[in-house]
Each structure stands twice: as structure tokens, then as C-alpha cells.
Amino acid sequence: MGRIIILKIGGSVITEKDKPLTPRLEGIRSAAEAVAEFGEPLVLVHGAGSFGHFLAKKYGLSRHPSMASPEAVAEIRDSVMKLDSMVIEALRSKGVQVYWLQPFALYNIGGIHEKWKTILTNLIQQGISPISFGDVIPTSEGFRIISGDEIVRDLAELLHPVRVVFAMDVDGIYRNYRKDERPIEELSIEEAKRLAVDPVKIDVTGGMEGKLKEAIKIARIGINVHFTNGLKKEHLIKALKGKDHEGTLVKGKLLA
């Protein structure tokens, strides 16, 4: 069986975080090049950055289902699709062959349907990288935002990859995020938990806290989780290889 590696390309890598609906073209290109140069098919998930998040905030949508206006849903969806096609185009232009999967298709009540295990594994074996993304999805109680981090965690539980990599716009997880501070090299699950409940100790965005929480859940099933800078091609390639990559490793440990 081909080994599986899951890569989340954060919205901060592919969009200008502070400029609504603006792609970060050099980030999209650099991440695509890293994936191409790594050379093996990956399970890919990307975030929505200043596309989806900006609009989700504007219309008051969150991870909890709510009755959103038709305009809100259509506009958010449209924005993530636009970003998604830019990412896919960049990957394909570098020779990475992808198969697009909308998150809604993956999910069954309670999680990702078991059938996807074989389908995704087969795609990887055939040299195709399945790609999904943070999105707005319908539920029986309205629409909700599903983050790419959540999809990554559910995919990790289903597929048991050899490692999971989160690519961001900073080098890794920091204790205080001061100038010249280097990211923490390695975190045990226990240390990561302490950081995740004390957001003043980590990078300021709530996004990082959420990522760390998903990473802890993945590490608890015995999978190493690497945080790296997706804007630095060499860092990302090393992280995909599971080598020392100047980022942060949350060490996986199977907890009984």
C-alpha cells in the first residue's frame, strides 16, 4: 500500500490575510512547487483565508449550523471555488495531478464515510492527489463552515497517514512570537495541550489555537504532526519528508 501523507495548505499561505478576497500568488506558486518537487502524491486540503473567512464573518456564519441567507451561502461558496481553482491550476501547471473532492461529498452523518478509505488510497496509489478545502456545507440544521483543519483531522483518523503537515505563513509554533524567536522544535501532546489552552503563549490568531487542537487529536492516534512555513519551499519539502525542517513537530503518541 502506498504511504499516505496529508498536507493542509493554510489560507495564510494562499491568500493575503488582511486583504479581503486577495490571493497570495507567490504563496500559491511556492506551495505548488514544493508539492511538485516532493514528487509523491499527497492528500491535499487547503484553507479559505481572506476569501471564505472574510465572507463568513460578514454574513455571521460559523462552525455551528445556522440559517444563512441564500446570498451568503452562494457568495461564500463562490469565493472558495475561485480560490480553489487557482490552487488547482498552480498545482497542475507544476505537473501535480489532482482529483477534486468537495467536502460535502466526503461526509456522512458523524464523520467521513468509511468508503473513502479505499477510494483515497487507490487515488494515491495511482499517482493522483485528492484535493479538498475548507467550505460552507449544508446540514439538517442549516449551513455551517467546515474548516480545512477539521477535514484534515477526520481524514487522518480515517487514513492513518505516516504524517500530517500544516503549512502556514510563519515557521512553526512559537511560545511568545517575538522578533528573532525561533519556533518550538518539538512538542509532546501534553506540552501542546498546555499551549492550546493558553492562547497568549502562542501566535495571536485564534486560527493557530484551533490548528493546535486538531493537531493534538491527530497526535493522539500516534501520528506525527509537522507545522511549517508554506511560503518557504525548502522548509515545506523537508516537512513533507518528515525531516528536520525548522518548524514544529507535535510528536504522535498512541494514547490508550
User: Which residues would be at the binding site for ligand IPE (CB under 6 A)?
Assistant: 10-11, 47-49, 52-53, 56, 76, 80, 134-136, 145, 147-149, 207
Q: Least distance in Å: CB of 11 to ligand IPE?
A: 2
Query: Is the distance from CB of 6 to CB of 166 less than 8 angstroms?
Result: no
Distance between start and end Cα atoms, the chain: 26
Continuous segment of H or E residues that includes residue 14: helix 11-14
Q: Least distance in Å: CB of 182 to ligand IPE?
A: 23
CA 177 vs CA 184, 208, 211, 248, 250: distances in Å: 10, 12, 16, 13, 18
Q: Give the CA-trace dihedral at 8, 216, 223, 5, to 10 degrees.
A: 0
User: Is 98 or 151 the residue whose CB approaches ligand IPE more closely?
Assistant: 151
User: Is 16 or 251 the residue whose CB approaches ligand IPE more closely?
Assistant: 16
User: Is 134 or 252 the residue whose CB approaches ligand IPE more closely?
Assistant: 134
Q: Least distance in Å: CB of 210 to ligand IPE?
A: 7
Continuous segment of H or E residues that includes residue 228: strand 224-229
Helices (H), 39-69: 49-59
User: Is 39 or 104 the residue whose CB approaches ligand IPE more closely?
Assistant: 104
Q: Least distance in Å: CB of 185 to ligand IPE?
A: 23
User: Is 58 or 115 the residue whose CB approaches ligand IPE more closely?
Assistant: 58
Query: Is the distance from CB of 100 to CB of 94 less than 8 angstroms?
Result: no
Q: Least distance in Å: CB of 77 to ligand IPE?
A: 8
Distance CA 195, CA 39 (A): 34
Q: Least distance in Å: CB of 10 to ligand IPE?
A: 4
User: Is 147 or 248 the residue whose CB approaches ligand IPE more closely?
Assistant: 147
